[in-house]
Amino acid sequence: MIRALGDKTPNITESAFISESAYIVGEVEIGENCIVLPGAVIRGDFGGIRIGKNVVIEDNAVVHGASPCLDIGDDVTIGHGAVVNARRIGSKVLVGMNATVLHQVETGDRCVIAAGAVVTEGMKIPSDSFVAGVPAKVIGKTTEKQLKWVERAPQVFSWWLEKYKKERL
């Protein structure tokens, strides 16, 4: 379901796939070849949301706009059940399943936020960081193995993008 809120209407590129059971409202921009899966909620009501290209927002994830805007880079995967209410998510970032990224968080590029992590308000995460824990801490640099997950996700989901569109799911 895609809804305007006042004079704010989502702007979604034609190449994106949005599940009919996703909910997108307000000031939201979704870039080329993005996938928003069932149950995902993207709310641009408190602040705007700008989503780059090749971004996958998996089932039941919540992305809520921060004031003034949440910017999500390219080639990002937001895992099942994750909650993102940050200021910036860099490019080539994986936000793991059920991770929580609180207000005003900023990540660099090529980061991995572990499943279940709770990234506390205002944390600044440098590029190439692996973040885990409750509360989350930078554990070290992202490994080649972790970065393969980050790089593979948009490629794997591009196949699903075409299949979902073809079958009009």
Instruction: Give the pLDDT of residue 159.
Output: 73
Instruction: Give the pLDDT of residue 137.
Output: 98
Instruction: Give the pLDDT of residue 169.
Output: 64
Instruction: Give the pLDDT of residue 152.
Output: 81
* Residue with tokens 């089932």, as numbered in its chain: 59
Show the tokens assigned to 99. 């991770």
* 140, HSE (Cβ side, Cα atoms, 13 Å): 4
Report long-range pairs for 110-114 (Cβ below 8 Å, ≥24 apart): 110/142, 110/147, 110/150, 111/142, 112/142, 112/146, 112/147, 112/149, 112/150
2-166 domain in CATH 2.60.40.1080? no
Cβ contact 29:8 at 8 Å: no
Q: Which of 147, 135, 57 is closest to 93 using CA atoms?
A: 147
pLDDT string in tens for the chain (169-residue length): 999 999 999 999 999 999 999 999 999 999 999 999 999 999 999 899 999 999 999 999 999 987 789 999 999 999 999 999 999 999 999 999 999 999 999 999 999 999 999 999 999 999 999 999 999 999 999 999 999 888 887 777 777 777 777 776 6
Spatial separation of the C-alpha atoms in residues 32 and 5, rounded to whole Å: 23
